[in-house]
């Protein structure tokens, strides 16, 4: 069995984003959702809407997002819509908050490592395929945030995010912080949830990670630290596991002294365990071929 290909370019432009999708030679069909991170209020590192204009126009896609589970500007639909306006997503694109109203879709995970079900917004059923674009950076709970984080926490409804962060103890948003699970278990729930979303789309997905504004903190943090490393590039693949592994390898192999801070965050939170679990679940492969693109 051949290794999945991960394509890599050092050039970070809106036009290159389109090229890195096209090179996958996997045309997405039907109604296409483009999953991004809308950026928490106060966050300075998230990728701005104008960066996505060419790819959204190329696919005639809809920007899709989900509400959060923790207090902030995106935990309820009315606030999230207002922030999407403030951040100018709605100025350029059709925007769909997938869990804007219930009931959620329940995805069964019979072979789940830590959880046996996941909750995603009901509007997800309206999409035939999805392009998942992750801003690769650190994450306070996950260690790092890439394609697998976008598939798990990113696609989770408010209820689903709570269920994942508590390893199935509760789906009550109001009990989110009282029931947070441990670092190892959380990576297992993320892997389970990511696998359920990949299965939901039946392979009709493509993945891009953008290694720009690389902070140890996520775009969900309104007080995120400034980037600790120089920009690295854009990577794309049809395999989300291979894609995340390639990004982590680029971090470790970098000569940027700022990598020390990010690696400490990744390792302290057991970030690579989500990759190990995702391989176990069959979501993808961690052994890949890196293809450099000029």
pLDDT in tens, 180-223: 999 999 999 999 999 999 999 999 999 999 999 999 999 999 99
Residue 237, CA distances (Å) to 76, 217, 242 in order: 32, 24, 8
Kind of pairing between the strands at 143-145 and 137-139: antiparallel
**What's the mean per-residue pLDDT of the chain?**
97
pLDDT band at 70 (very low <50, low <70, confident <90, very high): confident
Determine contact, residues 148/275, Cβ cutoff 8 Å. Answer: yes
With a pLDDT cut of 90, the percent of the chain lying above it is 97
Determine contact, residues 105/124, Cβ cutoff 8 Å. Answer: yes
Q: What is the 3-state secondary structure (H, E, C) of 159-211?
A: HHHHHHHCCCCCCCHHHCHHHCCCHHHHHHHHHHHHHHHHHHCCCCEEEEEEE
Q: What is the arithmetic mean of pLDDT over 234-239? A: 98
Q: What is the arithmetic mean of pLDDT over 238-242? A: 98
Residue found under tokens 């950076």 = 137
Say if residue 102's pLDDT is above 90.
no
Residue found under tokens 């432009």 = 13
Q: What is the arithmetic mean of pLDDT over 23-49? A: 97
Question: Residue 89 contacts by C-beta under 8 Å, 6 or more apart in sequence?
Answer: 38, 49, 63, 95
Say if residue 1's pLDDT is above 90.
no
Per-residue pLDDT tens digits for 124-169: 999 999 999 999 999 999 999 999 999 999 999 999 999 999 999 9
pLDDT, residue 249, reads: 98
pLDDT, residue 38, reads: 95
Secondary structure letter of residue 10 according to DSSP:
S
Tokens, residue 137: 């950076």
Burial of 28 (0-12, 13-18, 19+ CB in 10 A): buried
pLDDT, residue 71, reads: 85
Determine contact, residues 141/265, Cβ cutoff 8 Å. Answer: no
Per-residue pLDDT tens digits for 224-233: 999 999 999 9
Per-residue pLDDT tens digits for 260-284: 999 999 999 999 999 999 999 999 9
């Amino acid at each position: 069995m051949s290794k999945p290909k991960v394509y890599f370019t050092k050039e970070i432009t809106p036009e290159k984003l389109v090229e890195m999708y096209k090179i996958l030679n996997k045309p997405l069909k039907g109604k296409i959702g483009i999953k991004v991170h809308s950026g928490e209020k106060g966050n300075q590192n998230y990728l701005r809407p104008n960066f996505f204009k060419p790819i959204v126009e190329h696919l005639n896609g809809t920007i899709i997002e989900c509400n959060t589970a923790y207090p902030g500007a995106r935990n309820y639909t009315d606030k999230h819509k207002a922030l999407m306006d403030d951040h100018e997503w709605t100025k350029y694109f059709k925007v769909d908050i997938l869990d804007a109203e219930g009931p959620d879709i329940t995805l069964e995970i019979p072979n789940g490592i830590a959880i046996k079900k996941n909750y995603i917004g009901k509007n997800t059923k309206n999409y035939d395929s999805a392009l998942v674009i992750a801003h690769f950076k650190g994450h306070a709970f996950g260690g790092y945030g890439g394609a697998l984080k976008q598939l798990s926490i990113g696609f989770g409804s408010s209820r689903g995010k709570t269920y994942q962060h508590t390893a199935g103890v509760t789906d009550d948003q109001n009990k989110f912080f009282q029931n947070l699970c441990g670092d190892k278990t959380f990576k297992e729930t993320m892997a389970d949830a990511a696998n359920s979303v990949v299965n939901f789309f039946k392979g009709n997905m493509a993945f891009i990670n953008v290694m720009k504004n690389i902070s140890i903190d996520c775009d969900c943090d309104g007080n995120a630290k400034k980037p600790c490393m120089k920009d690295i590039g854009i990577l794309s693949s049809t395999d989300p596991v291979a894609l995340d592994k390639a990004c982590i390898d680029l971090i470790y192999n970098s000569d940027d002294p700022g990598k020390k801070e990010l690696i400490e965050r990744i390792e302290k939170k057991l970030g690579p365990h989500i990759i190990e679990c995702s391989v176990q679940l069959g979501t993808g492969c961690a052994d890949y071929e890196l293809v450099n693109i000029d």
